[in-house]
Structure 1
Amino acid sequence: MTINCKGESLVLDKDRAIYWESKKMLIISDLHMGKAAHFRKAGIQVPATVTETDLEKLGRLISKYSPEILLVTGDMFHSDMNTEVQVFSTWRASFPDLRIILIKGNHDLLSNDDYGDLSIEICPRELLSFPFRFVHDQPKVFDEYYNITGHIHPGITIYGKARQQIKLPCFYFGSTCAILPAFSLFTGLSKIKAEEGDQFYAITPEKVVAV
């Protein structure tokens, strides 16, 4: 699904990404690589294929859109260095010409040297590219920039007949801020309190739909 946001064409992809056509930029949030290994280290049984599945999906998106830039609006990595970071390093070598920019989130704890070794550029707080400000969490003060964020893993509940309901990840666009869905499947969903004029785009297995 393609929408117009502040005069810019944005493609909302069912694989939980935005493609900003005029900038050749693929935008995702909350990849949380290393989360599964972090849980296994704590004795919690989590499939070892979570990171590989997410990276395969990301590779398909890169092949689909051929972006020049991959922008991650926070929580690319879930914790400090572990085996899944090495899995990413191998994956990264397949896209040597892709520029990767990370706006650090609360879980991004690797050292600057580690990011450098992975060919990842770091923005400690935000990235401004008019008309958008890319930042991990919603700012409290607003200006002429429209904010595109992540962090809270938005979801929406769809109700059907006979009390049927299903909870789906979604893209959220409010008056001052958009929130991306968590890219990783290994995350929960948070309900957003809607205000008048807000737009929700639910992600189904087949497509993105306005609700």
Structure 2
Amino acid sequence: MTINCKGEELILTVERAIYWPAKSMLIISDVHIGKSAHFRKSGIQVPDTVGHTDLQRLTALMKEFQPDILLVTGDMFHNNINSDANAFLDWRKTHAELKVVLIKGNHDALKNADYEALGIEVHTKELLCAPFRFIHDKPKEFDEYYNITGHIHPGVVLYGRARQRLKFPCFYFGENCAVLPAFSVFTGLAILKPENGDRFYAITPGKVVQV
């Protein structure tokens, strides 16, 4: 689905990403690379295919939009380098020409040398690219920049016939701030309740729909 936000065209995809054509920029959040391996190390059985599935989806987005920049608004990694992160290293080698930019989130605890080895440009707090501010979590004060964030893994509940109740990840656009869905399929959902003027775009299996 293509929307207008602050005069800019943004494409919302079913793969939980935003493409900004004017900047040839693909925007995602909360990838949590290494989370499944982290759980397995703790004795919790999580399939090692989870991280590979996320990378396959990312590869498909690369082919579809051919962006110059991949921007991650936080929690790209889940704490430390592990087998899942090594899989990303292999993926990165096949997209060496791609500029990867990370706004650090609360789980991004890799060493500076690790980010450098992966060819990732890191911003500790935010990245300003008018009319947007890219930041991991919603700021407490607002200014002329419209904030695009992640962190909370937003979701909505849709009701069908026979009182069916289904939860879907979503894109949220409020007055001063947008929240991206978590890119990783291995995350929960924080169900948001709409307020006046808010826009929700649910990500269903087949398409993005405004609700």
AA in 1 matched with 2:68:
E
Paired residue for 2:180? 180
* In 1: Cα distance, 2:129 partner to 2:61 partner: 22
Amino-acid identity (%) = 64
Mapped to 2, the partners of 1:181 and 1:62 lie a distance apart of: 18
Report the equivalent of 1:203: 203
Where does residue 123 of structure 2 map in the other structure?
123
- For residues 113-162 of structure 1, give each alpha carbon's deviation from its aligned partner in whole angstroms, at most 9, with x where no partner exists: 10000000000000000000000000000000000000000000001122
Q: How does the TM-score come out when normalised to structure 1?
A: 0.99
Aligned residues: 211
Q: Deviations over 1:147-198 (max 9, x none)?
A: 0000000000001122111000000000000000000000000012321010
Residue 161 of structure 1: aligned partner = 161
Residue type at the aligned position of 1:85: A
Shift of 1:66: 0.5
Name the CA distance, whole Å, in 2 between partners of 1:173 and 1:184.
20
User: Does 2:36 align with 1:36?
Assistant: yes
Runs of 4+ in 1 over 3 A off after TM superposition: none
Separation (CA, whole Å) in 2 of partners of 1:204 and 1:81: 32
TM-score, structure 2 normalization? 0.99
Alpha-carbon distance between aligned partners in 2 of 1:198 and 1:120, rounded to the nearest angstrom: 33
- The one-letter code sitting in structure 2 at the alignment partner of 1:7 is G
- Which string of whole-angstrom CA distances, capped at 9 and with x for unpartnered residues, describes residues 41-89 of structure 1? 1100000111110001001001100100000000000111111111100
In structure 2, C-alpha distance between the alignment counterparts of 1:81 and 1:206, rounded to whole Å:
34
- Cα separation, 1, equivalents of 2:127 and 2:177: 14
SS of 1:86's equivalent in the other structure is: helix
Shift of 1:202: 0.3
Determine helix, strand or coil for the equivalent of 2:155: strand
Please, which runs of 5 or more residues in structure 2 have no aligned partner?
A: none
